[in-house]
Amino acid sequence: MFCEECGTKNESGAAFCEKCGHKLQEVKETKKVVKQSKPMSTKTKVIIGLVVAIVAVFIGGYMFISNSLKPEKVATKYFKAYVNGDADAVYKALDLEDSEFVSKELLEETLKNDSIEVENYSVDDVDKGDLTTTVTIKYVKEGSSKERTKTIYLSKDSKKKWLLFDKWNVDASDLIAHDYLLSVPKNTTIKIGDVKLKAKYKKDSSFYSDTYKIPSILKGKYDVEVTYESGLKFTGSLNVWGSYGSISSSSLKLVKSDKKAITAELKKDVEAIYAAAIEKKDFDEIKDLFPEDARDNVKSRYESLKEDIHSSYNDLKEFKLNDLEVSSVYVYDDYVSVNVKIKYDYKIEYTSISDKKEYSAKDKEYSMNIRYVPKKDKLELSEFLNLISYFSHY
C-alpha cells in the first residue's frame, strides 16, 4: 500500500510508514453489486409493438391524407373528373348545392358536351398563396399533338377537414354563372330547359323587354320556350357563358302547333277578303273578321283593294289561294306581325283596245304582311298592309 503522507510504498498489512512513520489505513476493495433485471414479458412486448404500429400508421395516414388534400392534388382530381364527364366527382369537388338551375342531372348534361378525351396530362405550375391557389395543368387531347392548358382556381375553406387538414375548394365560376342577367321579350313566360323562370327573379322592365337576375345557373346551351300573353309559343336556344344573356323574338321559332293554327287562320282570312272584294261586297258584310277598334282603319284599305282589282283596265274575276307559308312572326307589345309567302291562281278580264279579253295565271308567288291583335288567348285580324292589288295580264 502507499503512504498517504509521503507516497512511499509499504508492505501490505503494515501499520506505519517505514519512511515517515505515518499511520497507514487499509483500503478495502468493494465489489459493485449489479442487480439483474427481470426479462421483458411477452405481453409487454406486444403492447409496445402495437403502440409503435399505431403511431406509425397514424403518422403514415396523416402524411398520406395531408398529401392527397394538397391544392395541386385536389385540382388534378377535379381535372380528371371533368375531362371524363364524371358528374358525381365534379359536383363533389365544387361543393355545389342544388338549386333550380344547378343540379347533378343538369351538370351531367353539361359535361356530356364538354368532355374531352385526354391522352396525357401533367401539373405545369402551382401558384400557392395563403388563401388561394392557381394550378395550371398541361394536357394533350387524343389524336392531337397540340399541347393545351387548363387553369384551375382554388380557395381555402375557413373550416378544417376533420379538424386537422386544410380544405381546398375548386372555384365553380368555370362551370357556373352567378347573378346571371337575362333579357327576354316583355310580358312573356320563360322556360329554360324544363324549369319555369319565376317572377321573383324579375329585376327590371323596359318598353320591349324584361330583365331577370338568376342567382346561379350552370353554363352551357339550353333549350328555351317563350310563351306570350296571346298564348303563342316560341322555341329557341340560350347559350349561358358570361354574366349576361338575351332571348330575342327574332331568334325564336313558332312551335309547330301554333304555326299550323296561324297558317289555317291566315288562309281563311285572306280568301274571305278576296272573295268579298271580287263580289264587291260592302265592308259591313265582312267587318266581323276584325276587332271593333281596328275596323275604321281596315275599312279604307278594303275599299282601296276593291277599287284596284275592279279598274277600267283589269277586272279580277277569280282568286284561288294554293299555298300559304308563314315565314316569320314578330310579337310586339300590342300586335303580332306575320310575314307570309303565298302561291295563288287568278283570272282577270281586261280591255285590249276595245275588246274584252280573259287572262289566267297559275302558281304566282307573293309576300305580304298581316297583323293580328291578341284578344283573350286568341288572335284577331287587325290589319293587312300589302295584299295583292294588281293582277297583270302579261
- The Cα 379–Cα 261 span in angstroms is 10
Long-range CB pairs of 363-366 (<8 Å, 24+ gap) are: 363/322, 365/341, 366/341, 366/342
142-182 per-position pLDDT tens digit: 888 899 999 999 999 999 988 889 989 898 888 899 999 99
Question: Which range (7-11, 126-130, 358-362) has the least confidence?
Answer: 7-11
346 — pLDDT class (breaks 50, 70, 90): very high
Give ranges for CATH 2.60.40 in the chain: 177-253
Sorting pLDDT into bands at 50, 70 and 90, what band is 67? confident
Residue 219 above 60 pLDDT? yes
3-state secondary structure of 246: strand
The yes-or-no verdict on residue 237 having pLDDT over 90 is: yes
**pTM across the whole model:** 0.69
Nearest to 153 by CA among 78, 97, 240, 241: 78
- Res 125: pLDDT: 93
pLDDT of residue 362: 96
Can you give the pLDDT at residue 30? 47
Minimum mean pLDDT range among 91-95, 215-219, 324-328, 343-347: 91-95
Which of 168, 171, 218, 176 minimizes the C-alpha distance to 193? 218
Segment 379-391 shows an average pLDDT of 88
Please compute the mean of the pLDDT values over residues 349-378 and round it to a whole number.
87
Q: Where are the alpha helices (DSSP H) in 253-319?
A: 256-278, 295-309
Q: What is the mean pLDDT of the chain?
A: 88
Average pLDDT, integer, range 2-15: 75
What percent of the chain lies above the pLDDT cut of 90?
Answer: 48
CB 218 within 8 A of CB 240: yes
* 354 or 284, which is more confident: 284
What CATH number does domain 177-253 carry, 3.30.1560, 3.40.50, 2.60.40, 1.10.3470?
2.60.40
Predicted confidence band of residue 235 (pLDDT cuts 50, 70, 90): very high
Backbone angles phi, psi at 125, to 5 degrees: -155, 145
What's the pLDDT at 148? 92
- Average pLDDT of the residues in 89-112: 86
Cell 352567378 locates to 178
Span 289-302, average pLDDT: 90
Contact 262, 326 (CB under 8 A): yes
| Residue extent(s) of CATH 3.10.450.50 domains in the chain | 69-174
CATH class of 69-174: alpha beta
Residue range 256-384 forms a domain whose CATH class is alpha beta
Phi, psi dihedral angles at 264 (to 5 degrees): -65, -40
Which residues are CB-contacts of 236 (< 8 A; sequence separation ≥ 6)? Answer: 223, 224, 226, 247, 251, 252, 253
Least Cα distance to 265 among 380, 145, 188 occurs for 380
* 96 three-state secondary structure: coil
| pLDDT in the model for residue 37 | 63
